[in-house]
Amino acid sequence: MSIGYSAKVMEHFLQPHNMGEIADADGIGEVGNPVCGDVMRLMIKVEDEKITDIKFQTFGCGAAIATSSMVTELVKGKTLDEAEQISNQAVIKALGGLPPAKIHCSVLAEEALQAAIADYRSKHPAEPAVTES
């Protein structure tokens, strides 16, 4: 049943990592693809500009679940700036590839992460630097 999918994709589909909900999330990103019907919701907890916890809820195909799971693994423990640099290509590489028809799932995972970080930053604007006069 793994036609075109790597062992890593199958692992993250069959046993997703960090699936669930963070009730008091600091940032939430929700994205969807109207063509295929996939919907991803990513929640992050942030302390000292670091992602200390991340969970996802995804309604979609196996590739959507696997990319959601992998993006959580890639960013947990990273700073927000580091997490923002993680692209859909990094997700694809970490999963050992995706069939061309499923690349859009990795884009959704990247967009959900970006949306969660943007949501966090909108609620926690950067403090202006204090200068001594």
Instruction: Give 7-121's CATH code, choosing from 3.90.1010.10, 1.10.8.640, 3.40.50.300, 3.30.300.30.
Output: 3.90.1010.10
For 71, residues 6+ apart whose C-beta sits below 8 A from its C-beta are 42, 56, 86, 91, 109, 110, 112, 113
61 catalytic residue (yes or no): no
Q: How far apart are CA 112 and CA 107, in angstroms?
A: 9
What is the domain partition of the chain in residue ranges? 7-121
Task: Quote the pLDDT of residue 128.
Answer: 60
Catalytic residue among 10, 19, 22, 36: 36
Per residue of the chain (133 residues), give pLDDT as tens.
456 799 999 999 999 999 999 999 999 999 998 777 899 999 999 999 999 999 999 999 999 999 999 999 999 999 999 999 999 999 999 999 999 999 999 999 999 999 999 999 999 887 665 666 5
Catalytic residue among 42, 46, 105, 108: 105
SS3 50: strand
For 87, residues 6+ apart whose C-beta sits below 8 A from its C-beta are 110
Half-sphere exposure of 113 (CA within 13 A, CB side): 32
* 100 secondary structure, DSSP code: G
Of residues 41, 19, 62, 11, the one with CA closest to residue 108: 41
Task: Quote the pLDDT of residue 66.
Answer: 96
